[in-house]
Structure 1
Amino acid sequence: MLKRTLALTLLLTTQALPAPAAPAAIGPVTLAWSDATHTKVRITWTETTPVANTVAVGIRQLGTTTAAQPNQLVVDATSFPRTEADDSQQVLVAGSDGTEALSVPFDSYVYTPGDLELSSPSYDRMRWTVPEDDSVDGTPGDPLDLPVRYRYEVEHDLDPNPDKPGDWSCAGNTIITDVPTGTVARTGRPSNLWVRPVNEWGKSVIGGWAVLNAITGIKLAAPSATPYGGTTTLAGQVKWRSLIISGQPPTCNEWEHNATATTVVVHQRTSPTAPWTVVGTTRTDEQGNYRAAFRNPGHRQYRVVVANEVRPTLEARFGADSATVGARATTRVVSAKFIQPVVNLGTRPQAYLWVDPPGTQKAALQFRNASGAWQGVTYKTLYAGRGLIAFPWNKRGTTQFRWWVPATASADATYSGVFTLTVR
């Protein structure tokens, strides 16, 4: 009797226990842009029983909801991890009861260019261009795909205190442009350039990078005057600077270098209003020094110019021009002499003169008198820079002579060397 009673009690107790509750099922997880600005993503899902949820992408948590809140989460697009173009990720919605559901795969790709393409369209400009993105979409047609459209954040950094080495200060100018190309003006200072593509997912973390070095000092020295047709030698030194950027936030400092193996172009002009023309080129040595020797063509102003340089790497260098210096020409005496330096008393000596530049200068023949002063004898108007004149001279002994040649448009006045006449 006791066994039957215990069995009946166990049976009744077992029948009275409720069945365990089924886990809440999370339905499809859907993704869509929250509005036409495409700055936020709306994540929605369904579930059979309200529970608290955690929403994540990979190891990055995007947010949470309570059981009482709607089954949705609106997230800034910039909160999503970046993917490669051919990669994908999925949103995971996890319930507090252990249930989970995944969205369809999608990408959040932002193009990160390699080196910027650099060119020099003009002396005072450097052009940058973002290489075209040739990647292939790994999740074509995902619910967050938009037509490919980039804007570009252009950051141009330099050292605001270049004369204070070691302060490592840094200043930048940032603009946004809709086109993948632009120019940077020559400032005479080194700088660095970053261009970061920007789309609905935010901006490229690194972006394209370029180093814009600069010629920052050109020394130029010239003689004040050299003989017309003779040799004029210019000499000087070229320096350039680079900008070193390091740390986070970035800091800047300029460094100066000798411009070695650099082409230097020599320019000349005949007046401050005349156009510059090229004389020739030379190159700097290992210390950045250069020399240029050429024929003196007359009064000139000179400068030397280092052109912009674009290297195969992500590096370019702005050129510069030196200060202007003047080098005048003095009339060059090719020959000044007597045809016969020794004559008999009563013979009319013949004095000869040949100068460059050739012209119709009116030259004066002078002799040194007994007191040592120079005294005029006669004048001769030259023809094509040459002249011969005979004159009476009845003073025995040896006398020193010279020519004075007046200035022309191309060369300053000059005296010839001293030449002698001996009368027996």
Structure 2
Amino acid sequence: MRKSLAALAVVGGLALLAATQAAVAHAAPAAVSEVKVAWAEPGKVKISWTEAAGIANDVYLEVSGQQAQRIGTTTAGGANELVVPVAALKPSHDAASTARILVADPSTAGARSASFDRYVQGETPMLPGMVRGVMQWQFEADPATDTTPNDPLDSTAPAKITPRLTRVKAGTAAQCENVSLPATTERYGKVPAQNGAYSVDLVLANEWGESKLTTVRARTAAVAFSTPATGIYGAKVTMTGSIALSKLKNPAAGDCTLTPDTADLVQHTMALHGRNSATSAWYSIGSSWTDAKGNYKFVITNTGAREYRPILVESFVGHGAVIYQTIGATKAIRATPQVLDARFLDSDIALGQQPNATVTVAPYGSHQVALQFKNSSGQWQGLMYRTLANGTAQSGPFAFNRAGTHQFRWWVAASISAQGLPVDAGYTHPFTLTVR
């Protein structure tokens, strides 16, 4: 009986131990749950979770398609939360890239937050322009699609774009100066005209930080221009020149030395302007383009004395660069009469016959001409004046009783062209008369 009572006591003790262990197991720390992410302040994210106190936790960033990376650890005595900078969550230019937070401890499999994106737009092509020295920029709407709509880290604040300008500091030759222009929530804006070459970064910022969308560099230019001093009225005149571009050498590294830019000399538009006098208004005459070496030319018809100037048209030139409008030196080109005909109707006559000289010149005016011949002393000697009719005149028969071959020419008075431009006085080519 005693043995039976003893056996019962042992069995009862085992049952009590098992019950105690079950109670202890039931009271073991609960698994991690309710992992949440929220903005703690601009640039920082708060990660929090539910779990019994007294457990150390490892916090991981899980990015789709990548191995999880630990971004922090909490101590057993710490709160069930972790605040990390946005950089720890690896902001991405890929809108389709999603992430979750995994919170784990040694005794559980851990728990995960809802998925969220970390998208900030990356490098974006853009065609800037120049209007009267003002650089104009505009980006198309971001085509990215939100793959985690209404995730806990989405923000309603619009992204802002800040133009960050680097230019030569006033009073220095090559020292850089950095200026941030006002930020805008629009996807377009302007950079005011500057005094010289510069570089501007267009930087977008949203809740996930900053991203340089593009860089635009403004070039300065010099325009060389060469013309003849005069040309024949109605004939072609060729004007030539070249452009030389300059840029800041390396503004990103703080070097704002002005240096030649030979990479983008081709296909710049050159405009040719003219004016009738030094006090009259300029007007457009034609256009041309530069070749790969920056050379250009204009070929025009000479319509009378006029002043000319070449203009490098301000433009976007590719490779993220714009160019200021640049005006070359003013050059004057005069005009001389165009000789269409100057001769004797019969250039070989007998002594005693009367020759008859004719002349036709342009402009076809009614100004005077004078017939001249070269005397025995080699000097030109005037014989008679005539008045042109529609650009033509004849001497009429006149007595000339000198045997031999003699040179003649017509002097043509100054005139005004049909375009209202002056044409200088001039001479025809010499022509001969033979008297036998």
Worse overlay, 170-179 or 69-78 = 69-78
Residues 1:48 and 2:52 aligned together: yes
Q: Of residues 153, 156, 173 in structure 1, which corresponds to 2:162?
A: 153
Counterparts in 2 of 1:19-418, with a 5 A limit?
22=28, 28-34=34-40, 40-49=44-53, 57=61, 59=69, 61=71, 67=77, 77=86, 80-83=89-92, 84-91=94-101, 102=111, 104-118=113-127, 120=129, 127-147=136-156, 149-157=158-166, 172-175=178-181, 176-183=183-190, 193-204=200-211, 207-210=212-215, 212=217, 214=219, 216-241=221-246, 245=250, 254-257=259-262, 262=267, 265=270, 267-271=272-276, 273-279=280-286, 281=288, 284=291, 287-307=293-313, 315-318=320-323, 320-323=325-328, 324-342=330-348, 348-369=354-375, 371-390=377-396, 393=399, 396-397=402-403, 400-409=407-416, 410-418=422-430
Q: Greater shift after overlay, 218-227 or 326-335?
A: 326-335
Deviates more, 1:55-64 or 1:348-357: 55-64
Structure 1: which amino acid aligns with 2:187? P
Q: Which amino acid aligns with 1:89?
A: A
Q: 1:296 to 1:63 in 2, by over 3 A?
A: farther
SS in structure 1 of the partner of residue 141 of structure 2: coil
What code does the residue aligned with 2:148 have?
T
Structure 1 CA distance for aligned equivalents of residues 360 and 57 of structure 2: 106
Q: Please report how far the alpha carbon of residue 222 of structure 1 lies from its aligned counterpart in structure 2 after TM superposition.
A: 0.7
Judged with a 3 Å threshold, the aligned counterparts in structure 2 of structure 1 residues 258 and 26 are, in CA distance, closer, same or farther, namely closer
1:359 Cα deviation from its structure 2 partner: 0.8
On the 8 A contact 1:338/1:352 being kept in 2, the answer is yes
More divergent stretch after superposition (182-191 vs 362-371):
182-191
**Shift of residue 41, structure 1, vs aligned partner:** 4.0
Q: Do the aligned partners of residues 360 and 277 (structure 1) sit closer, same or farther apart at CA in structure 2, a change above 3 Å counting? A: same
TM-score between both structures, scaled by the size of structure 1: 0.72
Task: Write the deviation string for residues 247-293 of structure 1: whole angstroms up to 9, x where unpaired.
Answer: x7576674532766536545242335344334354652x54434443
Assess if the C-alpha contact under 8 Å between 2:29 and 2:51 holds in 1: no
Q: What is the total number of aligned residue pairs between the two structures?
A: 400
Alignment check: 8 A CA contact 1:268 1:302 kept: yes
- Partners in 2 of 1:393 and 1:258 — Cα distance? 71
Quote how far apart the aligned CAs of 1:26 are.
5.7
Equivalents in 1 of 2:336, 2:196: separation in Å?
Answer: 40
Give deviations 1:389-412, integer Å, cap 9, x for gaps: 337545534554433222223311
Segments of structure 1 that go 5 or more residues without pairing to the other structure are 1-7
- Mark the runs of 5 or more structure 2 residues left unpaired by the alignment: 1-9, 62-67, 417-421
**One-letter identity of the residue aligned with 1:301:** E
Do the aligned partners of residues 116 and 251 (structure 1) sit closer, same or farther apart at CA in structure 2, a change above 3 Å counting?
farther
**CA offset at residue 106 of structure 1?**
4.1
Distance 1:87 1:280 in 2: 50
Q: Give the TM-score taking structure 2 as reference length.
A: 0.71
Residue 4 of structure 1 corresponds to which residue in structure 2? none
**CA drift at 1:296:** 1.9
CA distance in 1, matches of 2:30, 2:389: 116
Query: CA offset at residue 185 of structure 1?
Result: 6.4
Q: What percent of counterpart residues are identical?
A: 28
Q: Call closer, same or farther: CA 1:328–1:282 in 2, change over 3 Å.
A: farther
Q: How much is the aligned-residue C-alpha RMSD, in angstroms?
A: 4.6
Query: CA shift at 1:223, angstroms?
Result: 0.3
Distance verdict in 2 for CA 1:179–1:28, change over 3 Å: same
Structure-2 separation of matches of 1:259 and 1:219: 17
CA contact (8 A) 1:343 1:349 kept: yes
